[in-house]
Structure 1
Amino acid sequence: MFGIGGDDSNHSFQSSAPCNNLGFLQKNNNLEEKISSFKERSSKDLLDNSDRDSRFRRTETDFSNLFARGRCPDYFHYGKCSQLCSFCWRWWIFSQTTSGRPLTDPPRSWTSTTPTSCWRAWRASTWSCPTNLNLWKQVRTEETESSRPVIEWISIGSVFVLMEQLTLKKMREIIGWPDGEGDGIFSPGGAISNMYSVMIARYKFFPEVKTKGMTAAPRLVLFTSEHSHYSIKKASAALGFGTENLILLSTDERGRVIPADLEAKVIDAKARGCVPMFVNATAGSTVYGAFDPIHEIADICEKYNMWLHVDGAWGGGLLMSRKHRHKLCGVERANSVTWNPHKMMGVPLQCSAILVRERGVLSGCNSMCAGYLFQPDKQYDVSYDTGDKAIQCGRHVDIFKFWLMWKAKGTIGFEQHIDKCLDLSHYLYTKIKGREGYQMVFDGEPQHTNVCFWYLPPGIRDMPDGQEKREKLHKVAPKIKALMMESGTTMVGYQPQGDKVNFFRMVISNPAATRSDIDFLTDEIERLGQDL
């Protein structure tokens, strides 16, 4: 990987020519000035870094050890943020709420981002990706007769494309695909990434649908967990399959798909004349944080020639942890994977990737060969033109914040982030599983940071089980959350699930939280629920 502007990424690049009173267009479109500057730089051996300002030296980034090299070990990895960045972040974290508490006071913030990533997210949002030779980068060299390197120059937009391609390759390596081969793209969110997976699967098996529509295909059916994210159902509706052709799979008491139920329903669908095409396995379900058994599901997909997609929007971050990645065992057998760094890894919204094991199918599915936008005769390798692979045209620079955050934290930093959050969830689980007034929604330790439980106030603990107790318990979590919001101390989500009444779903993705914050949470629940 390479860096932009060396370590000082906040440096503002300026033209070497004096501006005087030139207007904006004149300053930025002086062709003679650009050619002269280009020739001047090309006359030197640009690979020689010895006489260069350190900010402009070529650097190679090894994601695996940057965090270990000793930038700030605390939660706010400031590194070498500029004074302006530090000022903006300090202003943010010390801003007061209506309750007089700082915005990021840990007891009320169970999810998080880092200042490095937030600052770059804002900066990327203000850029329009202009072509500017002052923002140059060497991307390829080759030897000539004079043994001097030939430099390819790219616009700043192409730099972001390179960041995206290199980062996606690293993510595919972490999944377990050989040499990081495959394809992928960043999308506006996990719902769109999941939709990509259904589109790609359909194109792979029935490519004529792209031109002829759904009439060119038989009745196709999709399969997903009854606990899966609603985006799979939305994709079924939006892409013309119909929600009736999305078959829900039964789960065990922990919320994991039962493989035998999948095979039985595949056989039944075939008997009805349908064509089973796509199976979604969830890695970290929304409510229970459950991980479906991917290996067993992959066996069935191979047996019946179906596309296997793993929705790791929530749980994909665990691949960064050597301690917890076993929960996604078998993910390397998937045909596609959704992975949202903006969830467990703390990257600011939006940052979601769809990763595909087979190269070419993503482009084949979405490419419209719009030559007026994606010219085939550019001076550089047009395989770096990723625009035609996306279902949208213009795209936000989502990669910039993630790439720089990865540089700041390193893979080890992400691993420590994830391990700490899961350790805190384990602490909460062990604290309340035998505590008076608490009841777990399902037996056994949660697989992810989702800790689901009921709090039973003293007034209903001794009531006999029945409809009256259920009705009263159903109102407890919403009332306690409302009191939390009014007092401004903390906030925990709640929801029903199936035939279960409202329960608390505590999710931790903020490594700044501590065990004392967990203690505060339980004390606050008990304080606010005492008289209910």
Structure 2
Amino acid sequence: MSKLYFATTQRLAKSRLYFSVNNIEKSVSPFCQTISRKMATNPDVTKPASPEEQDKFLNDVFQMCMQRAVQASRDRNTPLVNFKKPEELKKLLNFELQGTGESHTNLLALCDKVFDYSVLSGHPYFFNQQIGGLDSYGYAGNLITDALTTNGHTYEIAPVFTMTEFAVLEHMLKLVGFHNGEGTFCPGGSYCGMLAMNVARLQKYPDSKSKGLYGLPRLVTFCSEQAHYSAEKNSTLLGLGTDNCWKVKCDNRGKMIPEEFEKRVIQCKNEGAVPIMVVATAGTTVLGAFDPFHEIADICSRHDIWMHIDAAWGGAALLSQKYKHLCDGVNRADSLAWNPHKMMMAPIQCSVLLLKEKDLLNRCHSINVPYLFQNDKPYDTKYDLSRNLVQCGRSCDALKLWLMWKAKGDSGFESQVNQALAKAEYLTEQIRKRSDFRLVIPEPEYTNVSFWYIPPSMAGKEENADYFKQLASIVPTIKLRMQLSGKLLVGYSPVGDYPTFFRMIVLNDKVNFEDMDHVLNEIERNGRDL
């Protein structure tokens, strides 16, 4: 597959086949027309394609991926989105499945349209979510994993993938400070939180592995008002119920207030319930806040509560000598979730759950499965990963991150994080200098920069309830204009008493300081008439 990767790249450089963004409304783009003319199609589409035809199809699709995703994501003049409403998209693409197959020509045309109407999240002007960029090494890792199409559940069928997972987890455990811990790759940070909650419950009540919730007291979990919504959903999934996921007040920077947490714990006990877990956050979704981990850990120690840290977004700060103080105290947690597919720019999905103590996953999740997990294998069966997990079918997500780490080293990731924070700090300073912009949080901790744009029509007005209502309505209007133009995507959100504001996420390593100015100029241009 690596030969295919480089051979195709070289062929692209020679052929210089560029797609036309001006013709994306056409049913078949010039790119696809070029490929269609070169293809020898089989008129009998019910007959399986030969291996040679399938290889040709794969090469053509890979060429399309290189041009329309990898290379297009580096081009600021390429629109990053051609937004269509669902009813429009249904007319532009035939989503229905039928009894007979289609020719490779038609399939390539469909693939081409996928690119036409998809969002280029790797584009330098994509600031919408906590993903972005397109890492070549991570992409290469995905190609290899998909080509080998195996299951990451046992060493027997995934030996290299298993060893890369062990290597990456060992390195990440050291970074967190879990020196005798364990971990696993999971399908997303929400799933990490679910596993952690299950371990917390089984640690407190080991018999619940076999007997379930029957006979147990009311169990309560805690999270801040600004924690990820998965904390509440996981309470439902594990049978605790959303009523037993208690929210804790935050300060005006979005941080959990420790005193409020302890008040809630005492209230829980006074009601005859049992507090089993708190979800603290390293880098909240909207404001990028880091909870006071030491104070929360002290409370957990006093009341025998499992401390889980959702570091899906902010865990990458541990890679930087300059910014790792943001995560001071995470080593005191019992478990921690970290999503390298966020700040580290690994391709989605790439999420890790780390636990301070070894063998917890085995004690909580292992059962006797003799057809899959045998003890007479010619290797240490600790490498049969799914033995300790809920999943059997597992994507081999470690390879892409391992390959990225091999290519960059700790120093490369540190530079990546430092640059992202530097650009966010530059953006913050530019907002301060512009009278028609206002920061929500005067000193953002991370790369979430939240702000309002104040158009000339609102300048100098009394800041009453009507003022803030109008201010909140301006943000989505500007966002829609930029979205329809295809030139820029920036997210927005309300939080607490703050009216809706722009939430800018900086992480793409292809973004520069000029791009920060460009964002403010575009928002100003699209909003000055409001």
Same fold (TM over 0.5): yes
> How is 1:35-434 mapped onto 2 (pairs within 5 angstroms)?
89=66, 92-95=69-72, 100-101=78-79, 105-108=123-126, 111-129=132-150, 155=156, 157-178=158-179, 181-434=180-433
Could you say which residue in structure 2 is the equivalent of 1:493? 491
Give 3-state SS (helix, strand or coil) of 1:309's partner. strand
Q: CA deviation at 1:93?
A: 3.4
Change (3 A) 1:362 1:467: same
Task: Indicate the percent of aligned positions where both proteins have the same amino acid.
Answer: 40
Please give the per-residue CA displacement for 1:390-415, whole angstroms capped at 9, x wherever unaligned.
Answer: 21211001111111111111111111
Q: CA deviation at 1:371?
A: 1.2
Give 3-state SS (helix, strand or coil) of 1:503's partner. strand
Q: CA deviation at 1:499?
A: 2.7
Task: Determine the C-alpha separation between the residues in 2 that align with 1:205 and 1:101.
Answer: 53
Could you say which residue in structure 1 is the equivalent of 2:470? 472
Which moves more between the two structures, 368-377 or 464-473? 464-473
Q: CA deviation at 1:10?
A: 7.3
Change (3 A) 1:232 1:109: closer
Give 3-state SS (helix, strand or coil) of 2:395's partner. coil
Change (3 A) 1:519 1:330: same
Change (3 A) 1:380 1:94: closer
Change (3 A) 1:370 1:185: same
Q: CA deviation at 1:113?
A: 2.5
Give 3-state SS (helix, strand or coil) of 1:372's partner. coil
Judge conservation of contact 1:495–1:503 (CA < 8 Å) in 2: yes
Give 3-state SS (helix, strand or coil) of 1:255's partner. coil
* Matched length: 434
Query: Which residue type is aligned with residue 462 of structure 1?
Result: G
Task: Determine the C-alpha separation between the residues in 1 that align with 2:151 and 2:188.
Answer: 25
Could you say which residue in structure 1 is the equivalent of 2:11? none
Judge conservation of contact 2:123–2:133 (CA < 8 Å) in 1: no
Which moves more between the two structures, 309-318 or 466-475? 466-475
Task: Determine the C-alpha separation between the residues in 1 that align with 2:382 and 2:156.
Answer: 15
Task: Determine the C-alpha separation between the residues in 2 that align with 1:10 and 1:430.
Answer: 42
Task: Determine the C-alpha separation between the residues in 1 that align with 2:183 and 2:492.
Answer: 34
Judge conservation of contact 2:127–2:491 (CA < 8 Å) in 1: no
Judge conservation of contact 1:120–1:400 (CA < 8 Å) in 2: yes
Query: Which residue type is aligned with residue 306 of structure 2?
Result: W
Task: Determine the C-alpha separation between the residues in 2 that align with 1:249 and 1:366.
Answer: 30
Judge conservation of contact 1:106–1:513 (CA < 8 Å) in 2: yes
Task: Determine the C-alpha separation between the residues in 2 that align with 1:93 and 1:10.
Answer: 12
Q: CA deviation at 1:438?
A: 1.1
Q: CA deviation at 1:119?
A: 2.2
Please give the per-residue CA displacement for 1:8-36, whole angstroms capped at 9, x wherever unaligned.
Answer: 99799xxxxxxxxxxxxxxxxxxxxxxxx
Query: Which residue type is aligned with residue 527 of structure 2?
Result: G
Q: CA deviation at 1:470?
A: 2.2
Judge conservation of contact 2:217–2:274 (CA < 8 Å) in 1: yes
Task: Determine the C-alpha separation between the residues in 1 that align with 2:250 and 2:334.
Answer: 22
Could you say which residue in structure 1 is the equivalent of 2:448? 450
Q: CA deviation at 1:383?
A: 1.1
Task: Determine the C-alpha separation between the residues in 2 that align with 1:262 and 1:397.
Answer: 38
Judge conservation of contact 1:89–1:115 (CA < 8 Å) in 2: no
Give 3-state SS (helix, strand or coil) of 1:451's partner. strand
Change (3 A) 1:199 1:515: same
Task: Determine the C-alpha separation between the residues in 2 that align with 1:302 and 1:510.
Answer: 39
Judge conservation of contact 2:76–2:124 (CA < 8 Å) in 1: no
Task: Determine the C-alpha separation between the residues in 1 that align with 2:236 and 2:510.
Answer: 40
Task: Determine the C-alpha separation between the residues in 1 that align with 2:156 and 2:211.
Answer: 38
Task: Determine the C-alpha separation between the residues in 1 that align with 2:247 and 2:127.
Answer: 34
Query: Which residue type is aligned with residue 519 of structure 1?
Result: D
Q: CA deviation at 1:108?
A: 4.2
Q: CA deviation at 1:376?
A: 1.6
Change (3 A) 1:9 1:258: farther
Query: Which residue type is aligned with residue 165 of structure 2?
Result: E
Task: Determine the C-alpha separation between the residues in 2 that align with 1:256 and 1:130.
Answer: 40
Please give the per-residue CA displacement for 1:175-217, whole angstroms capped at 9, x wherever unaligned.
Answer: 0123xx2111101000000111100001111011111111242
Q: CA deviation at 1:89?
A: 3.5
Task: Determine the C-alpha separation between the residues in 2 that align with 1:88 and 1:527.
Answer: 33
Judge conservation of contact 2:127–2:504 (CA < 8 Å) in 1: no
Query: Which residue type is aligned with residue 492 of structure 1?
Result: V
Task: Determine the C-alpha separation between the residues in 1 that align with 2:157 and 2:458.
Answer: 63
Task: Determine the C-alpha separation between the residues in 1 that align with 2:283 and 2:142.
Answer: 26
Task: Determine the C-alpha separation between the residues in 1 that align with 2:151 and 2:304.
Answer: 46
Could you say which residue in structure 1 is the equivalent of 2:526? 528
> How is 1:8-27 mapped onto 2 (pairs within 5 angstroms)?
none
Q: CA deviation at 1:94?
A: 3.5
Give 3-state SS (helix, strand or coil) of 2:226's partner. coil
Could you say which residue in structure 1 is the equivalent of 2:513? 515
Q: CA deviation at 1:433?
A: 2.2
Judge conservation of contact 1:85–1:119 (CA < 8 Å) in 2: no
Query: Which residue type is aligned with residue 383 of structure 2?
Result: Y
Change (3 A) 1:86 1:334: farther
Q: CA deviation at 1:346?
A: 0.1
Give 3-state SS (helix, strand or coil) of 1:492's partner. strand
Query: Which residue type is aligned with residue 158 of structure 1?
Result: P
Q: CA deviation at 1:128?
A: 2.8
Q: What is the TM-score when the length of structure 1 is the normalising length?
A: 0.77
Judge conservation of contact 1:208–1:216 (CA < 8 Å) in 2: no
Which moves more between the two structures, 191-200 or 262-271? 262-271
Query: Which residue type is aligned with residue 372 of structure 1?
Result: Y
Query: Which residue type is aligned with residue 357 of structure 1?
Result: K
Superposed CA RMSD in Å reads 2.7
Could you say which residue in structure 2 is the equivalent of 1:146? none
Task: Determine the C-alpha separation between the residues in 1 that align with 2:316 and 2:416.
Answer: 10
Judge conservation of contact 1:130–1:155 (CA < 8 Å) in 2: no
- Structure 1 residues not aligned, in runs of 5+: 13-83, 132-153
Q: CA deviation at 1:123?
A: 2.6
Query: Which residue type is aligned with residue 344 of structure 1?
Result: M
Judge conservation of contact 2:277–2:305 (CA < 8 Å) in 1: yes
Task: Determine the C-alpha separation between the residues in 2 that align with 1:439 and 1:399.
Answer: 41
Task: Determine the C-alpha separation between the residues in 2 that align with 1:395 and 1:223.
Answer: 30
Query: Which residue type is aligned with residue 472 of structure 1?
Result: Q
Please give the per-residue CA displacement for 1:134-158, whole angstroms capped at 9, x wherever unaligned.
Answer: xxxxxxxxxxxxxxxxxxxx75502
Give 3-state SS (helix, strand or coil) of 1:273's partner. coil
